Amino acid sequence: MTFTKTENLKNNKLIVFTKGKHPESSLSASATEEIMAGVPIVILMNQRGSASASEIVAGALQDHKRAIIVGKRSFGKGSVQTIIPTINGTGAIKLTTALYYTPSGRSIQAKGITPDLVVSDIRLSDQKTEAVAFLPVSEKDLKGHLKAPGQSQQPTKASKEDLSLAKKDYQLYQALNLLKGLSVLAGMQSSD
């Protein structure tokens, strides 16, 4: 990634650009190559932990339709600060000199990045009724079911692990589900 003076904002490899009152504060950053071409990307985003550089990357990938953003709107820190040392060298002044923009020209400042798929923070309860409704149940999960040759009597482990992750971090659980779905879809399309 290289920073250059903003000239051609139509470049399809553009990641971010800045605009300020003075021409010298207008810069752009572009990618030189994509090392993960064709790999599905899901970005998990929230207001508490996604700010500044992570918003710039997420906005660029979203604008280029290269990733799906999942979670909640990001923090909205889209300002560029310049630190100017004081004359006596004992301190500094931080000035806002420009704003960051996504490749399509969206400002991040005080707006953040809106996810493609909004997934709120929720807490799953340990109450048996909710857990039963949440877990996918099939014949093999029922106590005393008829076994196929070579099948064990135990419930599916993946369902228990999925419920555990969903309880710990529901947004991550949903992002992983989406990524799994995208991988399946990519495999279906490549076999055609």
- Asked about 169 being catalytic, the answer comes back as no
Q: What SS3 state is found at 134?
A: helix
CA 99/CA 119 separation, integer angstroms: 28
- Return the beta strands (E) in the chain as ranges: 2-5, 14-19, 27-30, 42-45, 68-71, 79-85, 92-101, 117-118
**CB burial readout 75-104, b (16+ within 10 A) else e:** bbbbbbeeeeeeeeeeeeeeeebbbbbbbe
Q: Which of 28, 63, 72, 74 is catalytic?
A: 63
Q: Which of 13, 25, 26, 52 is catalytic?
A: 52
- Asked about 116 being catalytic, the answer comes back as no
- Asked about 50 being catalytic, the answer comes back as no
Biggest CA–CA distance in the chain, Å, is: 83
Q: In what order do the strands lie in the sheet with 117-118?
A: 42-45, 68-71, 117-118
Q: In what order do the strands lie in the sheet with 27-30?
A: 2-5, 27-30, 14-19, 92-101, 79-85
Catalytic residue IDs:
52, 63, 77
